[in-house]
Amino acid sequence: MAEIIPSEFKGSVMASGVEKSAVGNRRDRHTGGMSLFDADAYDPDDMMVHPRHQAMQSVLAQLIQQLRDCDTVEAGVEFQRHLLNRLLEVEKDRDGFKRASKRMRGGKGPQPQAPEPQSGRDLADVATWRFEHDVCERLARQLRSVGDALAWRVFGFHRPFILALCRNQSPGPMYGKAGLSAELEHFERACKEEGAFALLHDLTNCLRIGDMTVWDGVNPPRTEEIKTNPKNSRSVQLRRINQARAAVLDGGPLPGDNASELLYDLDLRLRTHLDVLRDALERAATDGIYATPVPGSRALFVVDQYACARQGLSSEQFNERRQHAVDGALQRAGIAAGREDHNIYVTSLDSTARDPLRVPWANYPLNPVACARLIGDYAVATVETSGPVLTRLLQATGLDARWVRPPGKADLQQGEVIMEIHQQERLRSVALPGGLTMTPGWTLQMRRSELDRYLMELLQPGTWAAGIKHVLAARQAGQPWPHYRNEHEIWV
């Protein structure tokens, strides 16, 4: 998201509620990102070697391939049924582990029919049951990330639908949800009796407004709120559904209390360097560690845990190889100087199905196995840039850009302004008393989500700069959420 406001009225701006940090606060410099977990009861590697977590890799790859093979409405419906069964199985066990840990904290034993832990840890230790719960929570997010990929696909990769429907709190678990039977009944009726295609929002993380969207083949997609008792429909939810629909179809404000937040059609083609990511993942799958510069003052680092394990690298060998690769990529990208004070990065680490603004990994033009590794963090991609260097890149295109984020290592905060891009309207200078002249202008304030997109989606710098110029040229005060027109040609 960016913010464009008249320069004479520039001030603090409220952040969007969906801009969140994807991971915790503990740094892990060996990946260039963050530590995998904040839990003190287990080591991050424990999660990666857990049998359930490892088994999910093949499931994810199969689901992604199945989704890509869907070419009929019937296949899409059957895919949802299959994904639903997988998700409910995981969430049922998650609920069981939660109940068991709660009982053990109260001095009791696990409940009868509690799911069986598979970590090999001490069954008498409540931390074992909490760990198993965390594993299931993570697996549920991984499955929902494939549901996100389905959502992007059925909406034709038209980002405005996602931007409009993601603006609620994250949904809770499906298992045990009141009203789930009513939703499933409505889903089956729409698909079987009405011949429509229906999408269950609870299978996703990115669709947070409404319970279901229906395509009848004639009208625009229709988002619905399903209640066991229709008389109990919540006016607040219905209003947000109508706001989302009006934002996409009629140019109205996005759902929420800020009427200045609007979708913005850039009328530009999206161009990326995602081929660099594909090549880097392939190299890392062989070498374990691979780093490369990316056009646009960026460096990409990829670590593949499978390849590192095959090579039997010691911690010292790993760190040496990683440091050598990273240093070389930073130098070639021209962003090595002042790294500790001015560099900023985004990472794939533990980000799956956390941020609804990110394109799901399953939609990236990659092999399904590579997508599954990114989803499960068996492959970790990090993209780094230098704020001042990035600013100079934009200045070279004629933009008056300034990096305003203070030097230091602090993590990006929700809604934090990191860059300002100013444009004066020289043809509208106004004479003031005393021989002074006022030149009105506009300032585009860039926030974390926009930089995240430039880095993680590897936009070509020319495309990114052209988009910024397009937004500035519109001279419309408010908070525009820009989108490109040809994303169906980029994502799978």
pLDDT of 349 > 70? The answer is yes
What b/e string do you get for 322-332 counting C-beta neighbours within 10 Å, with b at 16 or more? Answer: beebbeebbee
pLDDT for res 254: 97
pTM for this predicted structure: 0.88
pLDDT for res 443: 87
Q: Mean pLDDT across the chain, nearest whole number?
A: 88
Q: Where are the domains of the chain?
A: 2-18+269-489
pLDDT for res 3: 52
**Cα–Cα nearest to 210, from 200, 220, 218, 221:** 200
| Rg of the Cα atoms in the chain | 24
- How confident is the model over 128-141, as a mean pLDDT? 97
pLDDT of 81 > 50? The answer is yes
What is the H or E stretch that residue 219 is in? none
**Cα–Cα nearest to 167, from 18, 360, 289:** 18
pLDDT of 457 > 60? The answer is yes
- How confident is the model over 200-210, as a mean pLDDT? 97
For 422, phi then psi, to 5°, come to -105, 145
pLDDT of 91 > 80? The answer is yes
Pairing of strands 479-483, 261-265: parallel
pLDDT of 338 > 60? The answer is yes
pLDDT for res 26: 31
* Cβ-contact 378, 410 below 8 angstroms: no
Confidence band, pLDDT 50/70/90 cuts, at residue 260: very high
